Amino acid sequence: MNKVKLSGILFFAALALSCSRVESDARKAAKYTDESIEKSLELKFEEAKKLYDKSQKIIGKYDSTNEESEKFFKHYREYRDGEKTVNQK
């Protein structure tokens, strides 16, 4: 019985950490995308490209079609659309 409880606790802990990581990645990618757009508008294209590349590196981790990527893109759209607050400088 103790092994079953321990397995359950570890499963839910891993699930919670995974969700937290996915949302954190979405927030960072949205932040880098927003900052990249701002730098482009300021005609600072090299800085814009570096920020864009950072966002694409994160987004690339979620390219496959699975539950984790669906969660990522849901959160990413929310942050990009301004439904959630993205911490900016």
Q: Looking at residue 81, what is its pLDDT?
A: 84
Q: What is the pTM of this model?
A: 0.71
Name the token pair of 87: 């911490």
pLDDT of 88 higher than 90? no
Residue 66 binned pLDDT confidence (cut-offs 50, 70, 90): confident
How many helical (H) and strand (E) elements, i.e. helices and strands, does the chain have? 3, 0
The position carrying tokens 């995974």 is: 18
pLDDT of 64 higher than 50? yes
Going from the C-alpha of 26 to that of each of 7, 46, 85, the distances in angstroms are 29, 23, 12
